[in-house]
Amino acid sequence: MLDNLNLLIQAPVLNIQLLLDGVLIGSIFALAAYGLALVWGVMNVKNLAQGDFVIMGGYIAYWFTKQDIHPILALPVAAVLMFGFGWACYRFIIRRVIGKDLFISLLATFGLALVVQQLLNLIFGSEVQTADAGFKTRFLFDGQVTVSDTKFIALLLAGALAASVVVFMKRSRMGQSIRATAQDARAARVLGVNTDRVYAFTFALNAAICGAAGVLISMIWNIQPYYGIVHSIRSFIIVVFTGLGNLPGVIVTALGLGVAEQFSGFVLGAELQVASVVCMLVLVLIWRQIQQARLRQVVE
């Protein structure tokens, strides 16, 4: 570990590589985190299946590559399919646990995550997969820093996706209804907003965002049926750290998380990758408690 640390100090260009990789992958984390915050803020449901929705999107892209279709084309398809899937999940599961105990909704999404994981395992097997996009790799700084075009394109797509969602939320009728319901569901209902529809749409939109993020993840990284939980944890870290309703904060935190992971992965080694993410979750929660304790409050 110390050797790796030394390397970072001796070869500053390595830092740039890690920074770049971190930012590029962090941008996709931001998408999933935004979706989580959306569902959380609107329906107060903490979706533990978030990461598994991402992996589902990833497998759609993977399937495309198996059919010799370029995975980028999977993006709109995954978004649409996952939108439908999200709608179905809402209708059959989420809708029945919304008003109830917060733990019940958490447990319901967790159960959903389990089912999805196992189904993916059955269908696709447990090997790690990638959806090869076949884009070129660029070399910067005399070949010491590599950036694959895939990652750049993924960044652009993530940005475009995020921008369109934001515009949608601000301008469209449904977007406004969502924001109204998030602020005060009862008031919105009284004013004629069909909150049930809003919730369904929000959950479905979240699933679509996750699906799209998953396509990108499978292109620039890898997927595996049981990786979902780690993605869920990443989203939670970002949302807990930033709080709800703070989109710029989510983006910055997500990029920061991506970078932090790259550095810790380099210094501590690949086996500690998952461990460092989970530890970050625990640390963020401890930090929040300390923050709240100053106000004589708890984290709830």
Partner 1 sequence: MVKSLFFASYGVVLLLLSFSGAFARRRATTTTIYVAILMLGLLGPMVLGDFTFQLTVLWMMILFALTWDIMGGQMGYNSLGNIFFFGAGMYISAVVQIAVVYDVAEYTASFGAIQISFTEAQYFTGLMLGMIAAALGAVVLAVLLGSAVFGLRGPYFAIGTLGLALAAGELVGTWEYVGGGGGISMPVYPGDPDERARVFYFLIFTASISTFLFLKWLYSTRFGLAINAIRDSENKAEAMGIHTRRYKTVAWSVAAFFLGLTGAVFGNMVGFIEPLEVAFPTITFGIFMVAMSLLGGKGTLWGPVIGAILFHYIKELTWAHLLGWQWVALGTIIVVNVVFFQQGILGWIQDRWPEKFGVMVEPGAGDDGGKSVGAELGKTAP
Partner 2 sequence: MSTMIDVRGVSKSFGGVVANHDISLKVPEGGITGLIGPNGSGKTTLFNTIVGTHPVDSGSIFFEGKEISKLTVQKIARLGLLRTFQQTHIYGQMNCVQNMLVSVPHRKEAFLDIFKKYPPEVYERADELLEFVGLFSKRKLQAGDLSFGQQKLLEFAMALMNDPKVLLLDEPTAGINPTLINGLIDRLKRANQELGITLFVIEHNMRVIMNLAENIYCLAHGELLAEGTPESIQNDQRVIDAYLGAH
Cα–Cα dist 232/277, whole Å:
11
Which member of 9, 190, 270, 295 binds partner 2 (CB under 8 A)?
295
The residues near 205 (Cβ < 8 Å, ≥ 6 apart) are 35, 38, 83, 86, 165
Contact between 194 and partner 2 (CB under 8 A)? no
**Helical (H) or strand (E) element with 146:** strand 145-148
2 binds, among partner 1, partner 2, none (CB under 5 to 8 A by kind): none
Rounded to the nearest 5 degrees, what angle is found at the Cα of 270, between the Cα atoms of 268 and 275?
Answer: 75
Radius of gyration of the chain measured on its C-alpha atoms: 19
151 SS3 class: helix
Of 171, 163, 169, 167, residue with least CA distance to 181: 169
Q: Least distance in Å: CB of 288 to partner 2? A: 17
296 binds, among partner 1, partner 2, none (CB under 5 to 8 A by kind): partner 2
Which member of 16, 23, 93, 252 binds partner 1 (CB under 8 A)?
93
**Strand partners of residue 148:** 137
Q: Which stretch binds partner 2 (CB under 8 A): 47-55, 89-97, 121-129, 291-299?
A: 291-299
Of 249, 280, 252, residue with least CA distance to 264: 280
Q: Is 32:210 a contact under the CB 8 Å cutoff? A: yes
> Binding string to partner 2 for residues 238 to 277, with x set by CB under 8 A, is what?
----------------------------------------
Cα–Cα dist 123/172, whole Å:
38
166 binds, among partner 2, partner 1, none (CB under 5 to 8 A by kind): none
Q: Which stretch binds partner 2 (CB under 8 A): 10-18, 102-110, 222-230, 290-298?
A: 290-298
Cα–Cα dist 74/57, whole Å:
9
Q: Which stretch binds partner 2 (CB under 8 A): 39-47, 107-115, 122-130, 288-296?
A: 288-296
79 binds, among partner 1, partner 2, none (CB under 5 to 8 A by kind): none
Contact between 298 and partner 2 (CB under 8 A)? no
- Residues of the shown chain interacting with partner 1 in the complex, contacts defined by CB under 8 A: 46, 48, 93, 96-97, 100-104, 106-108, 110-112, 114-115, 118-119, 121-122, 229, 233, 236, 240, 271-272, 274-275, 278-279, 281-282, 285-286, 288-290, 292-293, 298-300
- Residues of the shown chain interacting with partner 2 in the complex, contacts defined by CB under 8 A: 294-297
